[in-house]
Amino acid sequence: MREMSFLSLPDIPMIQTGDDLVEILLQSLEKAQIGLQDGDVLVLAQKIVSKAEGRWVNLETVSPRPEAEALAAETEKDPRLVEMILRECRQVIRKRPGLIITEHNLGFISANAGIDHSNVMGSENWVLLLPEDPSASAGRLRERLEQASGAKIGVLVIDSHGRAWRNGTVGITIGLSGVPGVVDRRGELDLFGYELRATIVGAADELAAGASLLMGQVDEATPVVLVRGFPYPLREAGLDEILREEEQDLFR
């Protein structure tokens, strides 16, 4: 029998700019009487990483360009928010009143370039950007956590995204260190001896989705999940192995 567990870490405080996430995580693990083990994966909500890294923006300080003003009128959005969306994305993919779909500077497709109002400062004038380099953030956290614990672990930074053709948001990976983004099963044999030709498992996103269920979306205040029993070997990986190249994307 195989088993994989997801455990939300307790007593994570409201994160402020400059907070030491590693110390906070270690204190939470100690309170829960959990020691990190080889193969564990810590999954962090994007918001606490962004907050610790000071990725706040007060829209009162933003001056929208004419391009942002025009897109704001077309989509019925605040021109200051649209200005920040344009700064954070490579291009606008789709648009309609109330929605802007973008290719983020990090390469993935998301609504509003990942910019969020929820659980941010308590004022609509404040928004939170994604971490500038979530994989680098995950790598720094992982290095210090491994030094402190002696365990070989992985770290994911995740965010909630909508999906084409399906209702509801799910957690997806936007930064990773020490965890495979995908696991290529092509060439392996199934139960009947058939050689798999197309099976590539989105392992990091599957972890993100599972952890997101525990984190919640509203007022749960559980932004860190420890995953134990991940069924694939840990390894170095980058976000690029998750993202489909544009020339292979039939739907853009």
pLDDT at 100 over 90: yes
pLDDT at 82 over 70: yes
Average pLDDT, whole number, for the chain? 93
pLDDT score recorded for residue 163:
85
CATH number of 5-54+132-242: 3.30.1330.100
Q: Averaged over 143-153, what is the pLDDT?
A: 98
Residue with tokens 């939170």: 128
pTM: 0.93
Which of 56 and 219 is assigned the larger pLDDT?
Answer: 56
Residues of the chain with CATH 3.30.1330.100: 5-54+132-242
> Number of C-alpha atoms within 13 angstroms, CB side, residue 87?
15
pLDDT at 218 over 80: no
pLDDT score recorded for residue 211:
96
Query: Quick one: CATH architecture of 57-127?
Result: Alpha-Beta Complex (3.90)
pLDDT score recorded for residue 9:
95
**What DSSP character marks residue 198?**
S
pLDDT score recorded for residue 191:
87
pLDDT at 158 over 70: yes
pLDDT score recorded for residue 221:
77
**SS3 for 166?**
strand
**For the residues of 97-160, what is the DSSP string, one character each?**
TTEEEEEETTS-EEEGGG-B-TTSTTSTTEEEPPPSSHHHHHHHHHHHHHHHH----EEEEEEE
Q: Name the nearest CA neighbour of 158 among 217, 103, 212.
A: 212
Q: Where are the alpha helices (DSSP H) in the chain?
A: 21-31, 46-52, 66-75, 79-88, 134-149, 203-215
Band (150; pLDDT cuts 50, 70, 90): very high
Residues of the chain with CATH 3.90.1660.10: 57-127
